[in-house]
Amino acid sequence: MSDVLTLLLEGAKPCADHLANVLGKEKAEVEAELRRLEEDKSLLGWLPVFNPEKVEEGRVRAVIEVKISPEREGGFDRLALRIARFEEVESCYLMSGGYDLLVFVTGKNLRTVAAFVSERLATIDGVLSTSTHFLLRPYKEQRHLLVDETEAVDKPAVSP
Amino acid sequence: MSLDHESFVASHVKDLPRSGIRDFFAVVSEMPQAISLGIGEPDFVTPWHVREAAIFALEKGRTSYTDNRGLLLLRREISKYVADFFGPEYDPANEILATVGVSEAIDVALRAILNPGDKVLYHEPCYVSYAPSVTLALGEAIPVGTKPEDEFALDPAAFEAAWEPGCKALLLNFPTNPTGGTADREKLERLARFAIDKNLLVISDEIYGELTYEGEHVGIASLPGMKERTLLLHGFSKAFAMTGFRIGYACGPAVLIEAMMKVHQYCMMCAPILSQEAAIEALLNGGDEVARMKEQYHRRRDFIVRRFNEIGLSCHSPRGSFYAFPSIRSTGLSDTDFAHRLLREAEVAVVPGTAFGEHGASHVRASFSTSYENLVEATDRIARFRDDIVTEDAASV
């Protein structure tokens, strides 16, 4: 794994100047590495991690378990991609176990998510059933706990 | 007439100097907005699985005393870990003592072995408690300087030169706080021959052992003939990020561990059981987290050392620990003046080298146990501070 990628995975800011400074490399070298990661699709994009309770107030997120029929050629892929392409879908995974796809969906309110599930998702040919769970409260978002781990610690500023 | 409380303080305590760090801490604590590179502990929180084990133990009502030596399961796991990492094998039954951090292990070891006036050789600059601990055990501490030109590595010849009749023990700490100096096998072998020749006991605090970035960590107890004359002190504070748990241990010959246990049982009874339970979990499942933290320290070290040298503060690359120890000689300031002015004028806290003994003069300790963002900002501020000093000097000529 490249050291640029390692730093990004640890949560470093995706800023070539910062990464170059931390790694002791030329900025151009870091930019080339970022380009390479994007070109070979290792790096799909940039998205900040927000506290949804503060930034997306009122938005609704749901996790939907979807059962679908596999097809003779392609298995689950065609239907999975058809579902994944909807703007409302944040993530979509093929799962082992009691259902086939796990679909993360967001909408501006409960009604829009419900409408998406009942009118768009459930009506697709090959979708056998859906089971929708609404997220009530986040505790951890993309490895970030929504509480400060050390907030109560009175740590000395200088120690031996 | 008011009572003269001073007259009740033991003379050897009265004569102990205040820790230089404590003085500096008082200044820093008035500037909470400053970026601190003065912290001598990991910036990582103890891994969750370890904290969770302590919570589980509490829920289960494990709140009693334990065997003075520590829980047998802990001593068994320590025995396995030490054999795997340091080399020598110790019997959990009578060659291992769980202590309240390595600090207690040092204190108990010295009190167990020293008669009044016995001499102990230790290298300097070093952790602040070594010489005072010897004094409190009624011994005489003899400093042996390590040198910047050697990157503060172990210097066996200096130990040999410093020896005098009455020396009973060597007190070592490699990798070293505050210099990051290490001891390679060849130098340790020479020191081991010296210890055997002069019949010295070695007390080796290897708390930063896992945080060795170049080469392997070599513990002196692993050398031929040395296990029998070494007290290996180690703990969980640094590599496992468990400073607040205050849990460490001593491994050594049964007779010496028994002597240490006598002191320990009367002053401490036992290490806290919750910390012992957490330590067991750390030993059983903590390896990946230790490796992850070490990797981050390693990269931060490369960054801060590069920046100090760019800034014009000559800095060797510490082979271990999480401290850089740059020379500030080029600024023309003493290490104390440098640290105080840097704090006031640039709001960055570093610790003056002389807080770790006179041999630390003209250096400061900068901990890289803090975030990249802090390191980037702090070193930028230090660069501006140094430029200002150079400009001042030029203007005054």
Q: B5-46+288-396: which CATH number, 3.30.200.20, 3.90.1150.10, 3.40.50.720, 3.20.20.80?
A: 3.90.1150.10
Domain ranges of chain B: 5-46+288-396, 48-286
**Chain B residues touching residue A7 (CB < 8 angstroms):** 299
CA B209 from centre of chain:
10
Question: What is the share, in percent, of chain B residues with pLDDT greater than 90?
Answer: 92
Whether residue B96 has pLDDT greater than 60: yes
pLDDT per position as a tens digit, B337-363: 999 999 999 999 999 999 999 999 999
Q: How far apart are CA A54 and CA B324, in angstroms?
A: 39
**Chain B residues touching residue A10 (CB < 8 angstroms):** 296
**Which pairing describes strands B167-172 and B201-205: parallel, antiparallel, or unpaired?**
parallel
pLDDT per position as a tens digit, B106-136: 999 999 999 999 999 999 999 999 999 999 9
Query: In sequence order, what E strands does chain B have?
Result: 35-36, 96-99, 119-124, 140-145, 167-172, 201-205, 230-235, 248-251, 323-324, 348-349, 351-352, 364-367
Cis before B178? omega within 30: yes
CATH T-level topology, domain B48-286:
Aspartate Aminotransferase; domain 2 (3.40.640)
Whether residue A28 has pLDDT greater than 90: yes
Contact assignment for A156 to B34 by CB distance below 8 Å: no
pLDDT per position as a tens digit, A69-100: 999 988 999 999 999 999 999 999 999 999 99
Q: How far apart are CA B311 and CA B366, in angstroms?
A: 14
Main-chain phi, psi angles of B357, to 5 degrees: 115, 160
Contact assignment for A157 to B19 by CB distance below 8 Å: no
- Region B35-62: mean pLDDT is 95
User: What is the structure's pLDDT at A149?
Assistant: 64
pLDDT per position as a tens digit, B272-322: 999 999 999 999 999 999 999 999 999 999 999 999 999 999 999 999 999
Q: Which domains does chain A have, with CATH numbers?
A: 3-39 (no CATH), 52-137 (3.30.70.920)
**Which pairing describes strands B201-205 and B35-36: parallel, antiparallel, or unpaired?**
unpaired
pLDDT per position as a tens digit, B176-214: 999 999 999 999 999 999 999 999 999 999 999 999 999
Residues 6 or more apart whose Cβ sits within 8 Å of residue B282: B47, B50, B236, B240, B242
Q: Alpha helix locations (H) across A11-98?
A: 16-23, 27-39, 52-55, 77-84
Q: Please name the residue that has the structure tokens 């969750």.
A: B48
Contact assignment for A22 to B296 by CB distance below 8 Å: no
* Mean pLDDT computed over every residue of chain B: 95
Q: Which residues on chain A place their C-beta less than 8 Å from a C-beta of chain B?
A: 3, 7, 10, 12, 18, 21-24, 149-150, 155-160
pLDDT per position as a tens digit, B204-256: 999 999 999 998 999 999 999 999 999 999 999 999 999 999 999 999 999 99
pLDDT per position as a tens digit, A102-159: 999 999 999 999 999 999 999 999 999 999 999 999 999 988 888 776 655 567 788 8
ipTM of the complex: 0.73
With left for phi above 0 and alpha for psi between -120 and 50, is residue B73 left, alpha or beta? Answer: alpha
Residues 6 or more apart whose Cβ sits within 8 Å of residue B102: B205, B207, B233, B234, B235, B237, B248
Which band of pLDDT confidence, cut at 50, 70 and 90, is reported for residue B393?
confident
Whether residue B377 has pLDDT greater than 70: yes
Q: Residue A90: in which H helix or E strand, if any?
A: strand A89-94
CB pairs under 8 A between A and B: 57
User: What is the structure's pLDDT at B166?
Assistant: 97
User: What is the structure's pLDDT at B275?
Assistant: 98
Q: Which of the residues B39, B242, B289, B356 would you substitute to probe the A interface, choosing the one with the greatest number of A C-beta atoms within 10 Å?
A: B39
pLDDT per position as a tens digit, A31-84: 999 999 999 999 999 888 888 888 877 899 999 999 999 999 889 999 999 999
B37 part of contact set with chain A, CB < 8 Å: no
Which band of pLDDT confidence, cut at 50, 70 and 90, is reported for residue B29?
confident
**Chain B residues touching residue A160 (CB < 8 angstroms):** 19, 21, 40, 127-129, 177, 355
Please name the member of A24, A150, A160 whose beta carbon is closest to the beta carbon of B40: A160
Which band of pLDDT confidence, cut at 50, 70 and 90, is reported for residue B388?
very high
Whether residue B81 has pLDDT greater than 80: yes
Which band of pLDDT confidence, cut at 50, 70 and 90, is reported for residue B391?
confident
